[in-house]
C-alpha cells in the first residue's frame, strides 16, 4: 500500500460540517406536487440521484458510493420511485413511514432514530415523515454512477401539470422557469403496466430483515486488534457487509452486495481505534458526542467532529479515532467495496497487541498470538 500523507488543506476539504449542508428544494420532479413540495434534499458525498443542476454537492470526489439526506416537515411525502443501485436509509432523527410496491400498498414499516434500512433495488419505495418537523434521513446510495431513478407513472403525470418534465438522461426541465420542453422522444416514459407487474414482491416480514434497529445490532468488544490496548477499546456492530471487523464470529444484519459496507462504532470516553489504514475510501459520520480523528503518522493532523459532522478519509491514509466526549458516543463508518476491509495496523499497535497475547491470523481475524504461525525469529 502506497504512503498517503494528508495536508491541512486536504483535511479541511474533506471535512463536512453539519453547518456546511446546503439544501435544495427543487432536486426532484415532484418538488411542486402538493404534499411533497416542502422536501429539502442534500448531497454531501457525490451528487446521488439529484435531478437539479442547482444541487450543491459538498464533495464530488468519487467514493464508490454517494451520501445525501432528506429533511422534511411532518406529513410531507417522498413519492414512489425505483432505484437501480442500493439505497440505504439512516434515520438520525424522527419517525418515517416507509412504504413500497408499485402502488405503495405492498407493505409499510416505521423507521425511528438509529434505524438503518436497506431497500432492495428494482422496487418502488417512498416515505412520509410521521414524526416531528425536524425529521432527518441520511441516505447512502451504491456506486458512483447510480443511474438515476424511475418515478411512478402517476408522479410523472402530475409533475407535467406543474410544468416539470424529466428527460431520459435524468435532467429536470422546468418550463415555468423558462426551460424549453424537450421533444417527446427525449422525455422519460412512464414504466408500462407489464413491466410493473414483473417487479419483485417483498412481503413485510422479508423487508423487516433488511432493517437494523438498535435492538438488532450485534456489538463486539473484540472486533479490532487494538481492543485490548489503552485507547483502542472501540466496539463495532456490522450493519451492511462484513466490513472491517476482525471478530470471526461477528456477522452483519444485511449481507447482500451494496458497493459499500456500513458499521456502527462506539467507544467510552478516551477510547477509539488506534493507528491503522486500509485501501478503501472511508467516511466517518458522527451520530453523537465529540470525536477526534488524527491523520498521518509523521506529521499528524487532528480534526474534531461533532454530531452529524462527517470526514472523508482518503484510501491508504493512516488514521486513528478517539472519543473526546464525557460519555459513550457513536458514529457510522462507511467503507467502499463489497468484500471485507482488511486493516493494516501500525507496527507499534501490532507489537503491543502481541505483548498482550493477541494477533491477527492469516484469515484476518483475531486469535491467540502464540498459536499463529510466523517466521522463525519473529
What Cα–Cα distance (Å) separates residue 94 from each residue in 111, 113, 134, 249, 348? 8, 6, 7, 33, 43
Mean pLDDT of 221-225: 97
Summarised one tens digit per residue, pLDDT across range 250-264 is: 999 999 999 999 999
Q: Which CATH architecture has domain 20-212?
A: Sandwich (2.60)
Mean pLDDT of 142-150: 91
Q: Where are the domains of the chain?
A: 20-212, 217-371
| Cell numbers for 159 | 409533475
**104 or 88: which carries more pLDDT confidence?**
88
Name the β-bridge partners of 321. 273, 293
Identify the weakest region by mean pLDDT among 134-138, 158-162, 343-347: 158-162
**The domains spanning 20-212 and 217-371 adopt the same CATH topology:** yes
Summarised one tens digit per residue, pLDDT across range 17-53 is: 999 999 877 656 666 666 566 778 899 999 988 767 7
Q: What percent of the chain has pLDDT over 70?
A: 96
**CATH 3.30.70.20: does it fit domain 217-371?**
no
pTM over 0.85: yes
Q: What is the mean pLDDT of the chain?
A: 92
CA-to-CA distance for 281 and 295, rounded, in angstroms?
Answer: 14
Cα of 230 vs its chain's centroid, Å: 29
pLDDT at residue 37, as a whole number: 67
Mean pLDDT of 121-130: 95
CA-to-CA distance for 214 and 202, rounded, in angstroms?
Answer: 23
Q: How many CB atoms lie within 10 A of CB 378?
A: 7
Write the DSSP string, 148-201: -EEE-HHHHHHHHTTTEEEBTTS-EEETTTTPPPPPGGGBPPPPPHHHHHTSPP
Amino acid at each position: 500500500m502506497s504512503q498517503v500523507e494528508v495536508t491541512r488543506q486536504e483535511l479541511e476539504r474533506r471535512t463536512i460540517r453539519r453547518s456546511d449542508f446546503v439544501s435544495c428544494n427543487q432536486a426532484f420532479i415532484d418538488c411542486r406536487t402538493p404534499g411533497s413540495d416542502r422536501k429539502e434534499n442534500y448531497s454531501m458525498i457525490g451528487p446521488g440521484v439529484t435531478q437539479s443542476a442547482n444541487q450543491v454537492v459538498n464533495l464530488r470526489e468519487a467514493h464508490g458510493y454517494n451520501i445525501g439526506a432528506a429533511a422534511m416537515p411532518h406529513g410531507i411525502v417522498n413519492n414512489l420511485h425505483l432505484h437501480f443501485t442500493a439505497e440505504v436509509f439512516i434515520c438520525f432523527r424522527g419517525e418515517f413511514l416507509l412504504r413500497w410496491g408499485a402502488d405503495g400498498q405492498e407493505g409499510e414499516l416505521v423507521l425511528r432514530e438509529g434505524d438503518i434500512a436497506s431497500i432492495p433495488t428494482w422496487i418502488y419505495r417512498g416515505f412520509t415523515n410521521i414524526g416531528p418537523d425536524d425529521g432527518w434521513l441520511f441516505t447512502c446510495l451504491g456506486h458512483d454512477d447510480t443511474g438515476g431513478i424511475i418515478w411512478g407513472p402517476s408522479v410523472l403525470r402530475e409533475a407535467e401539470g406543474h410544468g416539470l418534465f424529466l428527460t431520459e438522461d435524468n435532467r429536470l426541465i422546468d418550463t415555468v422557469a423558462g426551460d424549453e420542453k424537450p421533444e417527446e422522444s427525449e422525455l422519460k416514459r412512464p414504466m408500462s403496466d407489464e413491466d410493473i407487474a414483473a417487479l419483485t414482491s417483498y412481503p413485510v416480514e422479508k423487508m423487516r430483515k433488511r432493517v437494523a434497529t438498535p435492538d438488532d445490532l450485534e456489538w463486539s468488544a473484540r472486533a479490532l486488534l487494538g481492543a485490548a490496548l489503552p485507547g483502542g477499546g472501540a466496539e463495532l456492530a456490522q450493519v451492511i457487509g462484513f466490513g472491517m471487523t476482525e471478530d470471526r464470529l461477528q456477522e452483519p444484519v444485511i449481507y447482500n452486495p451494496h458497493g459499500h459496507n456500513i458499521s456502527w462504532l462506539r467507544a467510552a470516553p478516551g477510547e477509539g481505534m488506534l493507528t491503522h489504514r486500509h485501501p478503501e475510501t472511508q467516511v466517518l459520520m458522527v451520530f453523537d458526542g465529540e470525536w477526534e480523528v488524527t491523520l498521518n503518522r509523521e506529521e499528524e493532523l487532528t480534526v474534531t467532529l461533532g454530531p452529524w459532522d462527517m470526514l472523508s478519509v482518503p484510501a491508504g491514509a493512516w488514521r486513528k479515532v478517539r472519543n473526546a466526549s464525557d460519555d459513550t458516543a457513536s458514529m457510522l463508518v462507511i467503507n467502499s467495496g463489497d468484500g471485507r476491509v482488511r486493516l493494516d495496523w501500525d507496527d507499534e499497535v501490532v507489537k503491543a497487541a502481541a505483548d498482550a497475547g493477541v494477533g491477527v491470523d492469516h484469515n484476518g481475524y483475531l486469535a491467540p498470538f502464540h498459536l499463529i504461525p510466523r517466521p522463525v525469529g519473529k
